[in-house]
Chains A and B, each alone.
Chain A
Amino acid sequence: MQIIESSKTYDVAIVGSGAGGGMATKILAEAGFDVAVLEAGPHFDPKKEEDRNQFRWPYESPRRGASSNRRSFGDFDAAYGGWNIEGEPFTNHEGTDFWWFRSRMLGGRTIHWGRISLRIGPLDFKRNSVDGLGDNWPIGYDDVKPYYAKVDKLIGVFGSKENIPNEPDGFFLPPPKPRLHEMYYINAARKAGVPVIPSRLSILTQRINNDRGLCFYCGQCSRACQWYADFSSGTCLIFPAQKNGGRVQLFTEAMVSEVTTDKEGKATGVTYINKLDKKTHHLKAKVVVLAASACSTARIMLNSKSSVHQDGLGNSSGLVGRYLHDSTGASRAVFVPELMNRKIYNEDGVGGMHVYTPWWLNDAKLDFPRGYHIEVWGGMGMPSYGFGFNPNDLNKVVGGAIGGYGDSLRDDIKKYYGSVIGISGRGESVPQKDNYCEIDNEVVDQWGIPVLKFNYQWTQHEVKQAKHMQDTFEEILSATGGTLLGDKPDADSDYGLTAPGQIIHEVGTTRMGNDPRDSVTNKYNQLHDCENVFVMDAGPFVSQADKNPTWTILALAWRASDYLVDQVKKRNI
């Protein structure tokens, strides 16, 4: 058996088809480049009937939509894989509990994601100047602002102009009206002195072009929209790039193991294993764009050792894999008696919340740095596995028997349907050099590729932030007049702080900077050590604010792609 060489040399090989890889594909293909896109999972197009999860009823799944170790968020969630991928493990250092979510399919995690599309604000790029912790980005909001605007207009995001300094407004489509439980949240939050504004999600409440459909409020964005009415990488970037006549060759089921380099250390292409025939291939390319996800990209780089790049590609700083950081998370829920025995109507709405709370205490003196936003959930959703468990536990609050059997259970179910409101905080952590992923030399996956090993501990900054969340949640939810569910998480549980990785905002492993000794890429996502390799996932993030990373991945990938085109034109690459 030998490595199968590609017959031709592509202008660009793009590893990964998620937000960053999709944007690179669109911009580079439309600039006339001959592009190869390598994706470790199968092709996926929600328009194809065999890929359709939308409008399925729970009984169309034998497990009624339950989650499994094959699909973490349930049968209809459009993410192949999740916390566990059979044959592709990862490991944790003792004392670390890092969760790593991977989605193996064309479009990656953009197929199922929450569509929350927030801009990193002016303060967020320069947090070190505020609190002395971590590092500033080498770029500021004004560098990215034009690209956020382009992304808004190309892809579409609803929201509202609010003129909040660190929550920059964009080119918004109009938001949907709040649902009933969201109106309860608005009233309660205001009583607690916490502001609420319309949420900002990349879902088409109004037409943005004549190619994509309009949202019809099924609330199922996470299942992938067959009308392309929300953002995902395939439907909004890769397929349009192909349709526009771009030269885009898709390699699905292609598991990239390393970037190959020549004697001078310049990239010559990528090696991948075709998962279907299990053969090793070498795809030649003049430029390589890594967009496999922050951790997968770090893994590929660290596994790409050569005489020039002895510690892995682009790793002369020793920082590849370091500064890995996720968002913080914590939640609480309340039972609202006024929401018992609700009149039932269709309130599916868009696939996500219609309102949210942006961070509101930038000017306050607090015992922790950075901030968080608050998301709200509830309502009369479609039942799936787990619905009806402990059907009358809330009788503990309002009185009545617990348990039982017979016809009265029907009344219990209906009495409490849609009566619980939950809120979740999503916050900024302070990136730490000692939180990292590295190669585990003792474990390989089924393709023979050494796997990642994680080392990650939250600091007191994040724990104190979670405590603040819990205090705030208690105040807001109490103001609904309802009964808070469960005990308030305390210090023993780090105030309900989620395990690192669980919010699925992995960023920072190849952070950008001006000093090659202190960063992996320059401010255009280009490796300091290897000029014809770019990283266009969230690896180059220096920090991520409390803003979900996707919109910034898209903006930076567009910016980096423009730079790449310019550098090729100037023959600098």
Chain B
Amino acid sequence: MKRRDSLKSLLVGSVAGGLLVTGCAPENQAPAEPVAEEGLPGYGRNEAEKLHDKEVLAEVFLNEHELETIAALCDLILPATAMVGGALEAEVPAFIEFIVKDMPNHQLPIRGGLAWLDNHSLKLHNLEFKKITLDQQKAICDQIAFPGETAPEMMPGEKLFTRMRNLTLTGYYTSKIGIEDLGYKGNQANNWDGVPQDVLYEHGMAYEPAWLAKCVTPAQRGKVAEWDDDGNLLT
């Protein structure tokens, strides 16, 4: 499936399926996660939050055309590489579809911004932004993607693009694909035993013996703590 052709199928899936949509390739599928009752997310929430999420998930704000335009922008902002999926594989349009409902302050700037983008594209090419060629899209982006260099009459475009870049990157780097791309190693049980030696060396740092003497050692962790009357740890 060609990228451009896949946009629509991705979007139909994302709108119909709420948040957790499936990309083209199996490795890009949303992770199996605990989905609580009624398809709501499973993390610890109170009743008011569950109700709120249910209501927001059921709402519709962005229409199909707007979502297709957003998908085109997402793909420009963070395309896939040979190594790793991009914003579309990370289902960023679906995230944006939700977040503009959840944070209504995004609604008018995005709806109006997308309309401005189409108006601009129509003037230049007599076609909406999503329908012009990739090169034509990039030519417009080049005029609105670099704050400080934008012509005054193109400022509405810059505002939209900055917002879209922020939402695309945050949506991407909070997705499974994005976190892997970033390389974040935490969110798992481990036994912190200080900065790795090669990193210390690289930064010209070393733990001072006096400080280190105060610190916990992996070996002592399992022993139930006992102290003398002066607070000296005996175990």
The answer to whether B202 and A343 have CB atoms under 8 Å apart is: yes
Q: Is B139 an interface residue (CB 8 A)?
A: no
Residue of B nearest to A158 (CB): B216
> Which of these, B48, B200, B224, contacts A208 with CB under 8 Å?
B224
Docked CA distance A522–B52 (Å): 45
Q: Mark A144-181, 1 if CB is under 8 A from B, else 0.
A: 00000000010010101100000001111111111110
The answer to whether B171 and A347 have CB atoms under 8 Å apart is: no
Task: Give the distance to chain B from A232, nearest Cβ to Cβ, in Å.
Answer: 13
Q: Mark A55-69, 1 if CB is under 8 A from B, else 0.
A: 111111111111010
Docked CA distance A191–B231 (Å): 31
User: Which residues of B lie under 8 Å from residue A187 when comparing CB positions?
Assistant: 205
Task: Give the distance to chain A from B216, nearest Cβ to Cβ, in Å.
Answer: 4
User: Which residues of B lie under 8 Å from residue A70 when comparing CB positions?
Assistant: 48-49, 52
> Which of these, A205, A345, A389, contacts B199 with CB under 8 Å?
A345
- A:25-64 near B, CB below 8 Å: 41-42, 44, 46, 49-53, 55-64
The answer to whether A386 and B145 have CB atoms under 8 Å apart is: no
Q: Mark A510-537, 1 if CB is under 8 A from B, else 0.
A: 0000000000000000000000000000
The answer to whether B77 and A198 have CB atoms under 8 Å apart is: no
Q: Which of B8-16, B63-71, B113-121, B187-195 contacts A (4 or more CB under 8 A)?
A: B187-195
The answer to whether A387 and B173 have CB atoms under 8 Å apart is: yes
User: Which residues of B lie under 8 Å from residue A58 when comparing CB positions?
Assistant: 174-175, 179
Q: Is A382 an interface residue (CB 8 A)?
A: yes
User: Which residues of B lie under 8 Å from residue A407 when comparing CB positions?
Assistant: 79, 81
Docked CA distance A342–B202 (Å): 10
Docked CA distance A183–B46 (Å): 39
Docked CA distance A155–B77 (Å): 50
The answer to whether B233 and A173 have CB atoms under 8 Å apart is: yes
> Which of these, B147, B192, B214, contacts A174 with CB under 8 Å?
B214
Q: Is A501 an interface residue (CB 8 A)?
A: no
> Which of these, B187, B193, B224, contacts A382 with CB under 8 Å?
B187
Residue of A nearest to B170 (CB): A388
Q: Is B209 an interface residue (CB 8 A)?
A: no
User: Which residues of B lie under 8 Å from residue A52 when comparing CB positions?
Assistant: 43-44
User: Which residues of A lie under 8 Å from residue B231 when comparing CB positions?
Assistant: 161, 169-172
The answer to whether A382 and B184 have CB atoms under 8 Å apart is: yes
Task: Give the distance to chain B from A131, nearest Cβ to Cβ, in Å.
Answer: 30
Q: Which of A216-224, A431-439, A540-548, A564-572 contacts B (4 or more CB under 8 A)?
A: A216-224
The answer to whether A183 and B184 have CB atoms under 8 Å apart is: no
Task: Give the distance to chain A from B23, nearest Cβ to Cβ, in Å.
Answer: 13
Q: Is B196 an interface residue (CB 8 A)?
A: yes
> Which of these, A60, A104, A178, A405, contacts B33 with CB under 8 Å?
A60
Task: Give the distance to chain B from A476, nearest Cβ to Cβ, in Å.
Answer: 17
Q: Which of A73-81, A256-264, A445-453, A466-474 contacts B (4 or more CB under 8 A)?
A: A73-81
Docked CA distance A43–B189 (Å): 26
The answer to whether B41 and A62 have CB atoms under 8 Å apart is: yes
User: Which residues of B lie under 8 Å from residue A104 when comparing CB positions?
Assistant: 46
Docked CA distance A50–B47 (Å): 11
Task: Give the distance to chain B from A80, nearest Cβ to Cβ, in Å.
Answer: 5
Docked CA distance A414–B220 (Å): 36
- Tell me which of B57, B78, B187, B188 has the highest count of chain A C-beta atoms within 10 A of its own C-beta: B187
User: Which residues of B lie under 8 Å from residue A345 when comparing CB positions?
Assistant: 185, 196, 199
The answer to whether A53 and B186 have CB atoms under 8 Å apart is: no
User: Which residues of B lie under 8 Å from residue A92 when comparing CB positions?
Assistant: none
A50-B44, A346-B186, A347-B195 given; A383·B232 CB < 8 A: no
- B:158-190 near A, CB below 8 Å: 161-162, 165-166, 169-176, 178-179, 181-190
The answer to whether B174 and A177 have CB atoms under 8 Å apart is: no
Docked CA distance A405–B41 (Å): 31
User: Which residues of B lie under 8 Å from residue A75 when comparing CB positions?
Assistant: 43, 45
Q: Is A413 an interface residue (CB 8 A)?
A: yes
The answer to whether A388 and B43 have CB atoms under 8 Å apart is: no
Q: Is A364 an interface residue (CB 8 A)?
A: no
Q: Is A209 an interface residue (CB 8 A)?
A: yes
User: Which residues of A lie under 8 Å from residue B132 when comparing CB positions?
Assistant: none
Docked CA distance A156–B221 (Å): 13
A60-B33, A388-B172 given; A417·B182 CB < 8 A: yes
A51-B44, A71-B49, A175-B215 given; A343·B199 CB < 8 A: yes
- B:20-75 near A, CB below 8 Å: 30-31, 33-34, 36, 41-49, 52-53, 56-57
User: Which residues of B lie under 8 Å from residue A245 when comparing CB positions?
Assistant: none
> Which of these, B145, B166, B193, B205, contacts A388 with CB under 8 Å?
B166
A57-B179, A68-B102, A183-B205 given; A210·B224 CB < 8 A: yes
Docked CA distance A63–B166 (Å): 14
Docked CA distance A217–B149 (Å): 45
> Which of these, A71, A174, A388, A389, contacts B216 with CB under 8 Å?
A174
The answer to whether A347 and B192 have CB atoms under 8 Å apart is: yes
The answer to whether B207 and A177 have CB atoms under 8 Å apart is: yes
The answer to whether A63 and B141 have CB atoms under 8 Å apart is: no
- B:113-138 near A, CB below 8 Å: none
Residue of A nearest to B215 (CB): A177
Q: Is B212 an interface residue (CB 8 A)?
A: yes
What are 17 inter-chain pairs, A to B, with CB distance below 8 A?
A: A57-B176, A59-B175, A61-B43, A62-B53, A158-B216, A175-B215, A180-B195, A206-B220, A206-B222, A206-B233, A346-B185, A346-B188, A382-B184, A383-B179, A383-B184, A403-B146, A406-B76
The 6 closest A-B pairs by CB, nearest first: A388-B169, A177-B194, A58-B174, A174-B216, A348-B186, A216-B189
7 new A-B contacts at CB < 8 Å, known A175-B216, A409-B169: A59-B175, A206-B222, A207-B222, A344-B184, A349-B192, A385-B99, A413-B173
**Which residue numbers of A lie inside 8 Å of B, CB to CB?**
41-42, 44, 46, 49-53, 55-66, 68, 70-71, 75-76, 78, 80, 86, 104-105, 153, 156, 158, 160-161, 169-180, 183-184, 187, 198, 205-210, 214, 216-220, 224, 338, 342-350, 380-391, 401-407, 409-410, 413-414, 417
